[in-house]
Chains A and B, each alone.
Chain A
């Protein structure tokens, strides 16, 4: 049941991403809501649900993008794993907005680097006839980061709502509240 709700949440966010923000582009850039959702899940220490979110989000992004299949999924999986390791193994203080912004910046850089590197490998292997140069990522990165940063708080509210909703369902399921 939990994973079904995750799936519905991902579909809603993807719909908003494509339908709503597709019409509200800034310099041809739109925020990646699925990336932000995956990041919030990864920064939680509770469980490994972020892998499911990263995998499904990545698959959706792969199917909807014109890139070679797998690039977004690999990038999201690696970024989510690194983010999770960062909060569980390295970070000793609670996450605040400064560290969250820094985490977003780092995660976005790594995400784009892996995406570019994956495209390059696929191109070198002869599986794809083209790949996006790193200059494209660099030129688009500032606005892309700012747009994602603006959407960080709304996504945090959505993530909190989702978590609370699942917690309430879980409690009901165990029969604590009738």
Chain B
């Protein structure tokens, strides 16, 4: 009982009573001015301390998370690699799809017996302009047969194995085939020109020849049917003094990106 008469208890009791009064004011909603003063007073110190602490916190949290960041980084790298691989696959599928669409248009409009082949690789056996195809004698492919893409002649079979074959591209300098100018029916010879394109040669001087005329196969070679498109005359190369007329022929086929071709069975 002695304690309640002490100064300490008196002050304590006064504090409690004062607090009770403040609580009463708070309940009635009359304490807002005091509240605002109390909330605003430390604000500059809080802002200053926060500005100092934030870089420290960032530094330590970065160190703390370094292991996680490293692990996350390797996971993301693996994910990126996976996505890149998927992207390559998708691009490949897209290209294949485009090639299929182009070939489909040709197949619908032709009556010739065709063997669909996938291009496995290019430049086989050291030859500069050849394709390795995944079809061979088991599929009816034979030496000398014409290889077409989108309706245009792209080459001929020079080797036919049981399950694969090699086709010499029309652009190769060793390639030559008989041809015909569709507008005049004049026969000629088409040959490759050292990778630079096609040359129409041995056109008689008496025969007319103009830019834009279509060149097709003549059908003299038994294994290459007639009327397969080769290209169109893009430039007249010869002069009036030459024995035969010569012209450059342009094929719309992209010979560097062939994926699917057809071998014409004859």
Contacts and interface: CB of A to CB of B under 8 A. Distances in A.
Interface string B36-54: 0011011111111111111
Interface string A15-46: 11011111110000000000000000000000
Contacts of B54: 23
Given A19-B50, A22-B53, A24-B56, A55 B45 contact: no
A137 B25 CA distance: 28
A2 to B, nearest CB: 15
Contacts of A16: 45, 49
Interface stretch (B7-15, B152-160, B235-243): B7-15
Contacts, number: 90
Nearest to B57: A23
B23 interface: yes
Given A55-B15, A77-B12, A18 B23 contact: no
A19 B22 contact: no
Given A19-B46, A59-B38, A69-B31, A51 B19 contact: no
> Main SS of chain B's interface residues?
helix
A12 B45 contact: yes
A81 B26 CA distance: 25
B50 A84 contact: no
Interface residues of A, number: 30
Nearest to B18: A55
B18 to A, nearest CB: 7
B45 A11 contact: yes
A129 to B, nearest CB: 14
A85 to B, nearest CB: 8
Contacts of A63: 35, 38-39
B162 to A, nearest CB: 74
Contacts of B60: 24
B1 interface: no
B4 interface: no
A152 interface: no
A14 interface: yes
B16 A60 contact: no
8 contacts: A11-B41, A12-B45, A15-B49, A18-B50, A21-B53, A24-B56, A60-B38, A63-B35
Interface of B: 3, 7-9, 11-12, 15-16, 18-20, 22-23, 26-27, 31, 35, 38-39, 41-54, 56-57, 60
Interface of A: 11-12, 14-16, 18-24, 48, 51, 54-55, 58-60, 63-64, 69-70, 73-74, 77, 81, 84-85, 127
Given A24-B53, A69-B26, 20 more contacts: A15-B48, A15-B49, A18-B49, A18-B50, A19-B47, A19-B50, A19-B51, A20-B52, A48-B7, A48-B11, A51-B11, A51-B15, A59-B22, A60-B42, A63-B35, A73-B19, A77-B15, A81-B8, A84-B8, A127-B27
